[in-house]
Chains A and B, each alone.
Chain A
Amino acid sequence: MSTHPPAVTGHGRILLTGGRVLDPTSGTDDHLDVAIADGRIVAVGPQARSALHGADGAGPREGAGGPEATPVRDPADSGIEVVDCTGHWIAPGFVDLHTHLREPGGEAAEDIATGSAAGAAGGYTALCAMANTNPVCDTAAIAELVWRRGREVALVDVFPVGSITRGLEGKELTEIGALRACAAEVDFFSDDGIPLADALVMRRALQYATAFDVVICNHAEDPDLTAGAQMNEGAMSSVLGLAGWPHEAEEIMLARDLILAGGVGARLHVPHVTTAGAVALIGRAKEEGVRVTAEATPHHLLLTDDLVADYDAVMKVNPPVRTDADVQAVRAGLADGTLDVVGTDHAPHAPEIKDQEWEHAPCGMLGLETAFAVVNTTMIATGQLDPLTAIDRFTTGPAAVRDVRGHGRAIAEGADANLVVLDPRTRWTVDAAALHSRARNSPYHGRELIGRPVHTLLRGRFTLRDGEVAAPVVAATERRETA
């Protein structure tokens, strides 16, 4: 077995000063300084500055350092980098349970380096890479490959998602035990994109998963009801002449999954909830004690099916963008906790594949770099969601669904310095060509959004500094040379 690359850790001493600390774990929402030394948080609060004076920031380097921009030296103590966070929010680094990094097999659209860069730009320190790669992530070998490549790039920590069934075929179970035991310690399984239609296989998957207490995540969509479907079914699909994707298709399979998970006591995670009826079903199941968690995507918090009118396939996504009533229900669900997490369903597609007639274009849209801005614009800036709860949905919420080690934790002494500094007020216009993904399929191109990450720190190392993403620690070319 190959040796695994060490987790890259920052070195030196950093003082984040003047920022508003939003820490969902402790419920802290206060202006506090945060002191970081050698990749860990060493103090939070008035003692932060003095804590750094005593810390040894000149220790030996582990792995490579961050981008060597000229640090602002504290005039009182050279050697401490002081980052002025006045007007900004300091939060735990974001955790995405739902990212398509496309590597291996789909590198024309994205790879782990470009996807990690997009993640860092979006304020993420942990990404869960979906299993629908080629080959599928249904063996420990593929899971370790993805996990290790994430460590090499070192812009985010990559946590692979294992498939529920071999080859996403919906028939035989993946070796869940082997994936759980491998270096990537996979505890989250999904055939995402392909609904597990066979109720017996789904029931067995849930039952089997209880042996390891891992999470089963099923794309809730009855495939018979959506045969040939192109967009949300309703007045718009009617006029546009596109086959409709009825809300019943989502709700029927979701209801089935909730009943099955409740019956066997398994943990179920519901990705991309999009309909008012689905939000209601999850709320009821939670009241009944079903071990279910659920996710809202940024696009389902903002986009509606009238945007399909131009037939620009950048708006084509599965599940589809729905009606305003559904958007309002998903927002309400995210605000009241029925939906636990914001998951991006970041789904890059190469332009030559996406620039097709609507019905021939694949589903999926970019999301990592715009996720915070969309939630901030639609819900925080409008007062529908308070900042601390919003941060929970990006951090502690997902960290409660699966084990992402040092991510989504408290901003407290001793914790890994996985942090994001956000400017909640800056207005910017999305330019798809300026995003870090290899693909360009952002549905927000040309749209003005509010809020953006300024700095992202992974174990005390800047992966995003002043809006600039650091270079991958081990670029793809280097890897080939050393392989």
Chain B
Amino acid sequence: MTADPRGDTTTAAVSGMAAADGARQRAATAAGGRTAPAAVIGEPAPMPHLLGIDDLDAAQVVRILDTAEQLLPIATRERNTVPTLRGKVVCNLFLEDSTRTRISFDLAAKRLSAEVLNFSAKGSSVSKGESFKDTALTLDAMGVDCVVVRSGSSGAPRQLARYLDVPILNAGDGWHQHPTQALLDVFTMRRHLGALSGRHVVIVGDLLHSRVARSEVQALNLLGAKVSVVAPPTLLPPEVEGWGVELVADLDEVLPDVDVVYLLRVQRERMHRAFFPSSREYSRLWGMDGRRLGLLGDHAIVMHPGPMNRGVEITGEVADCDRAVITEQVTNGIAVRMACLYLLLAAAGGDTEEAR
């Protein structure tokens, strides 16, 4: 067991509720090669907010993944709901429609016995005649303990963190970040491949408009994976080389070498702004189909953040094959979001149930 008191608290708090012997499970997980060696990664620092992967270091990412591993049985309902966050109020502030992500956060909070308050508002606060700051102060006045925020505007969670004293959890902002998506993705990869150091992931598609891609690349870099990107040049962010990725021209060329193919959603309406000529040409050059599946190594997996555009970036054949772990990503998402809520709310040392 680690000597650090915070490490002890984390382990004890979760294991006390979730597992017969948290420490043993944690040791077993480590032995399975799913965590980075303790010698390389130090004890993680506390996490006041989760705004983006760029706020985290490798130790913090590993702690989230390890915590999620322990919470997975609760997420999958193999174990009962735990009272860890009883008495805490989590506000889901959804300023952009996203039923899937909201439900995932909703379930995650409820499995930890938190109260969930759903606050949905489409469009900007200015259309209602108030400032975004007013919206934030309203939440503050309601006495919420944590705000999970989804916004079409890049940076909105960071602005919220300036206005509020409670932890802010970014559930996706504009094209900027979607940290829990990246965390659930690396969690899923780790369960299939073990430690990600030295593994090779290719990200395919619309990186320009993708908050998932920005978070994903940063998370993979933190864990030591090699990241390649393949996309139409019009859908590559400016100066993407600076992200720590390798630009690859031909998808077929890179497929035999990769451990993960990560496909990004391509919105069909993009072709109307001259990003690419047609979904037919897109799928031929950058889509994953049965032929390309055959180019992959036996162990390699196919991932997608959903919702999929079948027939554009992925064919039905690939989406439904054994190598595609897309539904698993959804399940793992609940565990990872539980871990994030737990680490933001309980591990920070509040008066949660297990502290009594």
Contact = CB atoms under 8 A, between A and B. Distances in A.
A311 B124 contact: no
Interface string B190-217: 0000000000000000000001001000
A230, A310, A352, A357 pick with most chain B CB within 10 angstroms:
A357
B126 A311 contact: no
A311 B131 contact: no
B126 A233 contact: no
A360 B176 contact: no
Interface in B54-87: 54
B130 A352 contact: yes
A233 B211 CA distance: 17
B102 to A, nearest CB: 19
A233, A241, A310 pick with most chain B CB within 10 angstroms:
A241
Nearest to A238: B237
Interface string A221-251: 0000000001001110111111110000000
Contacts of B103: none
Contact of B154 (A242, A312, A355): A242
B154 A356 contact: no
A354 B158 CA distance: 16
A359 B154 contact: yes
Given A235-B238, A312-B159, A241 B125 contact: no
Given A241-B214, A311-B154, A357 B132 contact: yes
Contacts of A356: 124-126, 131-132
B3 to A, nearest CB: 36
A359 B237 contact: no
A348 to B, nearest CB: 16
Nearest to B130: A352
A18 interface: no
Contacts of A351: 131
B126 to A, nearest CB: 5
B153 A359 contact: yes
B270 to A, nearest CB: 13
Interface string B157-174: 011001000000000011
B239 A234 contact: yes
A355 B131 contact: yes
A444 interface: no
Contacts of B155: 240-242, 310-311, 357-358
A357 B176 contact: no
Contact of B175 (A242, A310, A311): A242
B277 to A, nearest CB: 19
B132, B133, B214, B243 pick with most chain A CB within 10 angstroms:
B132
A356 B176 CA distance: 17
Contacts of B129: 352
A353 interface: yes
A352 B131 contact: yes
A241 B238 contact: no
Nearest to B239: A235
Contacts of B294: none
Given A242-B174, A352-B130, A357 B156 contact: yes
A360 B131 CA distance: 10
Contacts of B131: 351-356
A219 to B, nearest CB: 23
B239 A311 contact: no
B5 interface: no
Given A311-B155, A357-B124, A241 B173 contact: yes
B306 to A, nearest CB: 19
B156 A241 contact: no
Contacts of A242: 154-155, 174-176
Given A356-B125, A360-B153, A311 B238 contact: no
Given A238-B237, A240-B155, A355 B133 contact: yes
Contacts of B153: 357-360
B307 interface: no
B159 A353 contact: no
A24 B214 CA distance: 52
Nearest to B153: A357
B117 interface: no
Nearest to B124: A360
Given A238-B243, A359-B153, 9 more contacts: A235-B239, A238-B242, A241-B177, A242-B175, A310-B155, A355-B133, A356-B131, A358-B153, A360-B153
A-B complex: 10 closest residue pairs judged by Cβ atoms: A311-B155, A241-B176, A241-B175, A357-B153, A355-B131, A238-B237, A241-B154, A360-B124, A235-B239, A355-B133
